[in-house]
């Protein structure tokens, strides 16, 4: 199997101050708010064809991310790569054969809408999401 990356779907950034980060990415860099999930502590910003997701430190989506961002600690939660074609079971099999430990295929929201995705970690512990086409 050969995974074919089409583009970056989204990047998730952990934010200590969600409002300040939203203002910066919108007012300074020209993004716009696409979705907000207050109960999750999430603001999704449209950045061209891609998304920049801002996840509140300590919020529901902050999967044991560690200390708040600082000069010594990063704040990227994960990188999402849009792949096509997307066959979840074939991807899981391939990734497992290559020594990775992929998670389950689950429907998640991305730059093109809801669609299948799975998480895995690179050799240095960075989370990577592989995202398929939208289902609706």
Does some domain include residue 99?
A: yes
CATH number of the domain encompassing residue 115:
3.10.180.10
Could you read off the pLDDT of 80-89 as tens digits, one per residue?
999 989 999 9
Tally the residues of the chain.
136
In which domain, by residue range, is 100 found?
Answer: 5-131
Predicted model pTM: 0.77
Question: Does a structural domain hold residue 44?
Answer: yes
Q: How many domains does the chain have?
A: 1
Query: Would you say residue 31 lies in a domain?
Result: yes
pLDDT of residue 63: 67
136 within some domain: no
Task: Answer yes or no: is 24 within a domain.
Answer: yes
Residue 116 located in a structural domain = yes
Please state, in angstroms and rounded to a whole number, the distance separating the CA atoms of residues 42 and 44.
Answer: 6
Q: Assess contact for 55 and 14: CB atoms under 8 A.
A: yes
What is the per-residue pLDDT across 40-69, written as a single tens digit (0 to 9) for each?
Answer: 999 999 999 999 999 998 888 776 666 666
Report d(CA 136, CA 121) in Å as an integer. 27
- Is residue 35 predicted with pLDDT exceeding 80? yes
């Amino acid at each position: 199997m050969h995974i074919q990356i089409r583009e970056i779907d989204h990047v998730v950034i952990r934010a200590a101050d969600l409002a300040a980060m939203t203002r910066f990415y919108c007012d300074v860099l020209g993004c716009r708010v696409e979705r907000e999930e207050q109960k999750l502590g999430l603001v999704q910003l449209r950045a061209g064809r891609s998304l920049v997701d801002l996840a509140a430190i300590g919020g529901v989506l902050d999967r044991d991310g560690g200390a708040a961002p600082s000069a010594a600690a990063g704040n990227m939660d994960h990188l999402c790569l849009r792949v096509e074609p997307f066959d979840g079971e074939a991807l899981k099999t391939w990734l497992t054969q290559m020594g990775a430990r992929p998670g389950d295929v689950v429907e998640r929201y991305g730059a093109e809408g809801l669609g299948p995705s799975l998480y895995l970690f690179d050799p240095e512990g960075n989370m990577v999401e592989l995202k398929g086409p939208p289902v609706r």
